[in-house]
Amino acid sequence: MHNTIQQKYSDLILASSSPRRKSLLNYLNIKYFQVEPNIIENIPPDLNNPVDAAKSIAHSKAISITQNFKSKYVISADTLVFLNKKIFGKPKSSSEAINMLMELRGQKHSVVTAIALKSPKTQEIYIDHTVTEVTMRNYSDEEMNKFVESGSSFDKAGAYAIQDNDFNPVEIINGCYTNVLGLPICTMIELFKRHGFIWDSRIATESKLADDICSIAESWDMEI
């Protein structure tokens, strides 16, 4: 019953099972209803470009639930990590997670998040993206194994969480912090403005918060 009421009074549908994306929308006081997208999340084999791959997956997530929410805005996102020409999605096993973390250790790599927004006015899906440069610290095998054994790697591109204070894998971040969390707030806001989504949020009246959102996010106590 509660979910039915929440859905009725939410103009935005979040097509994601990510607790980080949920936490970001909650912090911004944006009303939404969360629905898990109905797709098998794999990197398209014909797409070698990580930006194109992330856009394709984000589009698939949005379109998988669009038919059920024609009168609502639907937002989805997909995050991928890439080092040189290699794309890292979510690991499917402990050994794959360890291999990813070993390859990323001490390396500068990039994180891309693509956001897809379906407009109820046009029924079109609009997509934008953000790329952030991240440099990993030279963590030990013991630290890496402990993190993987905790089970926290499996729902994260590249097998790591930038916000994990115990593992703390990142040394330097150049760009948007919330992009690495899985939802670049400034890109999302621009999509909202561009396509007519009006929301009751603290950022609507505090423009400085929108500008500083990445630095503020670093201090949030968020589900990993």
**Over the chain, what is the mean pLDDT?**
87
pLDDT number for residue 208: 45
Integer Cα distance of 106 and 94 in angstroms: 20
Look at residue 205 and tell me whether its pLDDT is greater than 50: no
Integer Cα distance of 39 and 96 in angstroms: 21
Integer Cα distance of 14 and 72 in angstroms: 10
- Read off the pLDDT of residues 49-70 as tens digits, 9 standing for 90 and up: 999 999 999 999 999 999 999 9
Do the domain assignments include residue 119?
A: yes
Between 9 and 83, name the one with better pLDDT. 83
pLDDT number for residue 214: 57
pLDDT number for residue 47: 77
| Token reading at 38 | 């109905």
Do the domain assignments include residue 224?
A: no
Do the domain assignments include residue 129?
A: yes
Q: What is the CATH number of the domain that holds 33?
A: 3.90.950.10
Outline where DSSP puts E strands in the chain.
12-15, 33-35, 73-83, 86-88, 108-118, 125-136, 170-174
The parent domain of residue 53 ranges over: 2-217
What separation in angstroms does the CA of 182 have from each of 156, 157, 176? 9, 9, 10
Do the domain assignments include residue 157?
A: yes
- Read off the pLDDT of residues 26-41 as tens digits, 9 standing for 90 and up: 888 889 999 999 898 8
Do the domain assignments include residue 110?
A: yes
Do the domain assignments include residue 223?
A: no
206: confidence class by pLDDT, cuts 50, 70, 90: very low
153: confidence class by pLDDT, cuts 50, 70, 90: very high
Between 155 and 5, name the one with better pLDDT. 155
Is 78 part of the annotated catalytic residue set?
yes
Do the domain assignments include residue 222?
A: no
- Tally of domains in the chain: 1
Look at residue 171 and tell me whether its pLDDT is greater than 90: yes
Do the domain assignments include residue 82?
A: yes
Catalytic pick from 11, 46, 78, 221? 78
